[in-house]
Structure 1
């Protein structure tokens, strides 16, 4: 079961494990209602043959896939890449990750008061971060994650660091915060 909780506004490297006993957890419905972030549990042992992931990809139009491994041994320019992943940013497209192995944290801003919500992801977690939401990523103390990345059409890799409130995707996201999110 994925865990999500409100955290402080710490700006240092969050790979430190000082948030393991957070005071205020959110369930998946609260996470979705506060942020629009969706979660799917995928069986890693059978995901290539059971049809569950294929149905999600078809329903949501995910036509492109690749894989990333974040570790000191596998990621070129490891320290700088992690710093860039941890810089608060948004994208014009959804960010979709399926964790195959390892673990890490996605931090997303809640809509009401701009507080950080930390979402722990482990093997089998598929997370969909909506376009226009400010977020960041970091590894946990294991310093390893292997994940599939999915996109609608050709991938758009461009992060827009905060502030980027003038982008249309941000305006659209804020409107959804007011009117409510609808799961696809």
Structure 2
């Protein structure tokens, strides 16, 4: 079941896949104010309808678990650490969860983390320029997701610690400031 809440900010390199709920819920309406959209998708027809309405032309499927790294725990842990590093993209990030469980964290305007706990059927759309990060949940350490794209995917993660500000980031900040 989907849940949105403020992160407790008590994560460490050893426990960042734990829930970390502060106990303060966040509404879907609050997420919309940040440009984050949530859908619960119950069929391929609904998924295709959303994709068509938002002009998504391409998609692929990704599975993240230890098996998808041929049991290489070092490679798996390195990829999870990379995904958990705070970053943004110049394109929307769209994920539809087919199976498993994971967390997307997004920054609100007060620079606090909001955590979205996603399961099968959940779809999250993050706007270009929003700082975010992702991790699997410690309960499952497995996720299968469909990724959707308007054009060819742009995979460049622009990490916050680089202080790089692109047009996508500037547009995002201006858009939520109104």
TM alignment of 1:105-120, pairs within 5 A: 105-111=103-109, 113-120=110-117
Q: Which residue of 1 aligns with 2:39?
A: 40
Identify the structure with the greater helix proportion: 2
TM alignment of 1:1-184, pairs within 5 A: 1-10=1-10, 12-13=12-13, 14-17=16-19, 19-20=20-21, 22-33=22-33, 35-43=34-42, 47-48=43-44, 51-75=45-69, 77-111=75-109, 113-141=110-138, 142-163=140-161, 164-179=163-178
Structure-1 separation of matches of 2:78 and 2:165? 27
**Cα pair 1:8 1:115 within 8 Å, conserved:** no
Structure-1 separation of matches of 2:115 and 2:91? 20
Structure-1 separation of matches of 2:76 and 2:100? 16
Structure-1 separation of matches of 2:100 and 2:94? 16
Structure-1 separation of matches of 2:12 and 2:55? 36
Give the aligned length. 170
SS of match in other structure, 2:148:
strand
Q: CA RMSD in A?
A: 1.5
Deviation at 1:165, TM superposition (A): 5.0
Structure-1 separation of matches of 2:147 and 2:78? 20
SS of match in other structure, 2:68:
coil
For structure 2, the 5+ residue unaligned runs are none
Structure-1 separation of matches of 2:12 and 2:69? 21
SS of match in other structure, 2:23:
coil
Structure-1 separation of matches of 2:69 and 2:10? 25
Deviation at 1:8, TM superposition (A): 3.1
